[in-house]
Chains A and B, each alone.
Chain A
Amino acid sequence: MRLALKIWRQDRPQAKGQMVRYDIDGVSEDSSFLEMLDLLNEQLIAKGEEPVAFDSDCREGICGQCGVVINGEAHGPERTTTCQLHMRSFKDGDEIVVEPWRADPFPVLKDLVVDRSAFDRIIQAGGFISANTGSAPDAHATPVPKEHADRAFMAAECIGCGACVAACPNGSASLFMGAKITHLGELPQGQPERDARVVSMTAQHDAEGLGGCTNLGECTRACPKGIPLNVISQMNADLRHAGYGR
């Protein structure tokens, strides 16, 4: 395949960035989007140019490292991560616009790499759960109703990639937070600290300068794991139950 790429290039966090056009040929339809970028980088290095910086780790859709915005959509046109997106989703001759996640709390470090430590601090604010350590508990010591287990697993699929923030016109991380809060809130182990957790996580979210949710739903559409909007209702209900931390 022959493609015209337009990629955001930015040297340093505070440098002014710009879109740069690269023409690339001989891309296999079976290569992943990141492999296509690898190919581009090999060509750039051979020419003595600076390769395009982007994040990736597992390349199998589970670590959440690899997000970029492709043609205006976080992780591109399919419901999957950028690493699991394949070039067969594009046509020969396509122009592809590649940008980093754009949200002030996720500042660009270089090219397509953004700093998502705001998410780490939100998770940290969530704190611990009370669990006895030492010998492994009996498997049936703490029964979990099937519906609760199912919903906890559904929410636990969130890989913390940040696509929800990237896609949200308000720059809100409500889907991410809602997923984490629902995940622990559905399980017996998550109950003792349930109120405190929602209060401190949402407070950290706001302190990071992330925006407020106005139910637009772009997050759930962009989410590679299809986390549904009802986790946000859950978070709101939990925060209300906790008296908004007052």
Chain B
Amino acid sequence: MATTTAPAREARTGPPSILLKTVMAVTGLVGIAYLLIHMYGNLMILVGPEAFDEYAHHIRTFGEPMLPEKGLLWIIRVALLASLVLHVWAAATMWRRANAARSQRYVMTRRGYGNFYAKAMRWGGLAILTFIIFHVLHFTTQTVTIGEAHASPAARVLDTFSHWWGVLIYLAAMIFLGLHLLHGFWGGGHDDGAELLAQARRADPVRLHPGDHHHRGGLHDPAVRHPVRASRLRTADL
């Protein structure tokens, strides 16, 4: 048989994929940090409408007189928007690269963790992006209202969740977000070697791949159970 050679391919350029991945991890963590604060604020609704409205007022006056009114709010908004833009840009670039690297489909694919989350992170991410835009139009700019317009933020929340479809929209968004963070957080900890999460993962990789105990790299593998991270040996020590 004559030697067959494949035609040469053009070199791809652009930022290193690992840099993109780091950008996603850092901006994703900014998102998680904000979500935790946001959740703390939202829980005020369980204390009572007054507590909720007071909190909403406080974030507008926080840091005064060092900061102007809504000063902190705008700092957070700019930081969040920048993170979101970077996160989505990195995700879109990685998505494009993945499609270019795998333009042909297998006739048969294994259904499993990876093939599920490859789709869930991206399409689910788009769903979250759509939700974020809606959410800002709804509660921040009040361009969209569910129920009636109210002056009190708490009243707007209570009115929204007295409509079944209001509940449905927010519930669906939380499911997508939960799914995204399930992989994003455990995967993200692995990303640039963030020590704590990476160790948790090395100690118990089965958490990520239920049912895969028996393969190497699984729970029963001593190399994984007692892993060592290369401390940087210096040539001077040798």
Contact B223 A218 (CB under 8 A): no
Interface contact B223-A207, CB-CB below 8 Å: no
Chain B 212-227 interface 0/1 with A at a Cβ cutoff of 8 Å (1 = within): 1011111001011001
| A109 vs B3: C-alpha distance when bound (angstroms) | 9
Complex CA distance for A208 and B34, rounded to whole angstroms = 37
Which residues on B sit within 8 Å (CB–CB) of A245? 16
Bound-complex Cα distance A170 to B105 (A): 12
Evaluate contact between B4 and A13: CB separation under 8 angstroms.
yes
Expressed in whole angstroms, the minimum distance between the Cβ of B18 and any Cβ of chain A is 5
Q: Select which of B12, B100, B112, B217 is within 8 A of A207 by beta carbon.
A: B12
Q: Which chain A residues border B209 with CB–CB below 8 Å?
A: 217, 221
CA A212 – CA B19 in complex, angstroms?
A: 10
Considering the chains assembled together, what is the distance between the CA atoms of A154 and B225 in angstroms? 13
Which of B35-43, B114-122, B132-140 is near enough to bind chain A? B114-122
Q: Which residues of B contact A225 (CB under 8 A)?
A: 216
Q: Is B98 an interface residue (CB 8 A)?
A: yes
- A239 touching B18 by the CB < 8 A rule? yes
- Per the bound structure, the CA–CA distance linking A240 and B106 in Å amounts to 34
Do the beta carbons of B114 and A169 come within 8 Å of each other? yes
**Residue pair B16, A79 in contact (C-beta under 8 Å):** no
* Segment from B50-58, B76-84, B158-166, B197-205 that makes contact with A: B197-205
- A236 to B114: give the CA distance in the assembly, Å: 20
Pick from B11, B108, B224 the residue with the most CB of A within 10 Å. Answer: B108
- Judge whether A234 and B110 touch: CB under 8 Å: no
B49 within 8 A of A: no
Q: In the complex the two chains form, is B109's CB within 8 Å of A105's CB?
A: no
In the bound complex, how far is the Cα of B187 from the Cα of A171, in angstroms? Answer: 17
Q: How large is the interface on B (under 10, 10 to 19, 20 to 34, 35 or more residues)?
A: 35 or more
What is the minimal beta-carbon distance from B131 to any residue of chain A, in angstroms? 21
Contact assessment for A215 and B190 in the assembled complex, using a CB-CB cutoff below 8 Å:
yes
Main secondary structure of the interface of B (DSSP, over half): loop
CB interface residues, A 167-198, toward B, < 8 Å: 167-172, 182, 185-186, 188, 191-192, 194
Does B201 contact A229, Cβ atoms closer than 8 Å? yes
| CB–CB B190/A232 < 8 A | yes
Nearest CB to that of A190 among chain B residues? Answer: B233
- Picked from A110, A185, A212, A233, the residue with its CB within 8 Å of the CB of B98 is A212
With contacts A170-B94, A215-B187 taken as known, whether A203 is within 8 angstroms of B16 at the C-beta atoms is yes
Question: What is the minimal beta-carbon distance from B32 to any residue of chain A, in angstroms?
Answer: 16
Contacts A110-B4, A151-B228, A226-B217; A211 near B191 (Cβ below 8 A): no
Report A180 CB to chain B, min CB distance, Å.
14
A142 contacts partner chain B, Cβ-Cβ < 8 Å: yes
Chain A 208-235 near chain B by CB (<8 Å), digits 1 or 0: 1111111111101101011111101111
For residue B192, give the distance in angstroms from its CB to the closest CB of chain A: 5
A68-110 toward B: CB 8 Å interface, digit per residue (1/0)? 0101110000010000000000000000010100111101011
Given contacts A115-B6, A233-B198, contact A206 B12 (CB under 8 A): yes
Binding site for B on A (CB under 8 A): 6, 8, 12-14, 19, 53, 69, 71-73, 79, 97, 99, 102-105, 107, 109-110, 115, 142, 147-148, 150-151, 154, 167-172, 182, 185-186, 188, 191-192, 194, 202-203, 205-218, 220-221, 223, 225-230, 232-237, 239-241, 244-245
Q: Can you list 16 pairs linking A and B with CB atoms under 8 Å apart? A: A99-B107, A102-B105, A104-B104, A107-B7, A109-B6, A115-B6, A171-B101, A191-B233, A209-B11, A213-B18, A214-B117, A216-B118, A218-B115, A221-B215, A230-B227, A233-B192
Q: Which 5 A-B pairs give the minimum distances between C-beta atoms?
A: A226-B216, A171-B101, A212-B17, A215-B187, A216-B114
